[in-house]
Amino acid sequence: MAELEHKYEVEINEKEGRQKLPQNVKDELKASGMMDEKGKLKLKGVSPKMLKKMKQEVVDCPVLKEEIQFIQCFVCPNFQSRVMGKVLCKGDSL
């Protein structure tokens, strides 16, 4: 199996409490059908238990140069894969 092409390996960190998604990210999720009108996430192939864990995780995004919630990273077009506590990122500009 070939390794995915990626520019960055970003460490996933946990934060206490729930993180809030920015409004522009919520709007994108709703437009793509990954969030219903009430604001509940509906990611295919992600269990409710994993989703709860993902809501408490943050990454230092090398593209946006800021700390973002993992869910925002997960739906980013640069997201390649999540492997053993790290995210493989293409690193293309948005």
- CB neighbour list of residue 76: distance below 8 Å, 6 or more residues apart: 63, 89, 94
For the chain, what is the mean pLDDT? 88
The predicted structure's pLDDT at residue 56? 92
The HSE-up count of residue 13 (CA atoms within 13 Å, CB side) is 10
Q: DSSP label at 73? A: H
The predicted structure's pLDDT at residue 21? 86
Which residue ranges make up each domain of the chain?
8-89
The predicted structure's pLDDT at residue 25? 86
How far is 70 from 91, CA to CA, in rounded Å? 16
The predicted structure's pLDDT at residue 94? 79
pTM of the model: 0.83
Tens digits of per-residue pLDDT, 39-84? 888 888 888 898 888 889 999 999 999 999 999 998 899 999 999 9
The predicted structure's pLDDT at residue 38? 87
The predicted structure's pLDDT at residue 65? 93
